[in-house]
Amino acid sequence: MAGWFQRNFADPNVASHLLVDEGEIVIDEVRHHWIVYWRAALELVGAVLFFALFVVSPVNVGWLPLLIFVGLCLHAFWLSLSEHMDRFVITNMRVFRVRGVLARRLATMPISRILDITVEKPLFGRILDYGHFVFESAAQEQGLRDIRYVGQPDQRDLTIQRVVQRSGLRRSAT
């Protein structure tokens, strides 16, 4: 049962979206920075408090803290799973994002369509080494415009720049 759940609901299966017959390979698979789990962790702390309340509450109202405990645990699990399933992938041909737990959403942009990448690093992002990517492309509306909470954003930006450079789309300064 756990293997089935892992394959179908806890793994975005990035490899199934690759154009293997065209020679596409993954350069970098980006998971969210650990900071995205703060809300789920906070909900779990609240759930533990409600469980403690359940233990000491009278029997006739004990079901309410227990119900809140279960609800908070399930919601924290859902938040964590949905963040875990959101992946940004850099290949030698394109960048794409796959996300979703029950339904999957795939947004793709060929390397040749990337006009500009802005890396935004808020104060906490500079301290904890995460940032947000903002892509500008020939098509303004796409599912890859904002990629948030990217760990090691400077290295990831350089990786994309190298892939663009190696693809021959930009000329070297000589």
pLDDT band, very low/low/confident/very high, at 166 (cuts 50, 70, 90): confident
Domain boundaries, the chain: 2-32+89-166, 39-80
Cα-based distances in Å from 20 to 26, 121, 166? 10, 34, 19
- First-to-last C-alpha distance (Å) of the chain: 58
- Within a 10 A sphere around the Cβ of 14, how many other Cβ atoms? 15
User: How many alpha carbons lie under 13 Å from residue 13 in its C-beta half-sphere?
Assistant: 12
Tens-digit pLDDT profile for residues 26-82: 999 999 999 999 999 999 999 999 999 999 988 888 899 999 999 999 999 999 999
Please report the pLDDT score of residue 115 as a whole number: 84
Which of the two residues, 137 and 47, has the higher pLDDT score? Answer: 47
Backbone φ and ψ of 24, nearest 5°: -75, 135
Tokens of 26: 């993954």
- Within a 10 A sphere around the Cβ of 124, how many other Cβ atoms? 9
Q: Which CATH number describes the domain made up of 2-32+89-166?
A: 2.30.29.30
Which whole number is the average pLDDT over 12-39?
Answer: 94
Tokens of 134: 């903002």
Tens-digit pLDDT profile for residues 82-123: 999 999 999 999 999 999 998 999 999 999 888 889 999 999
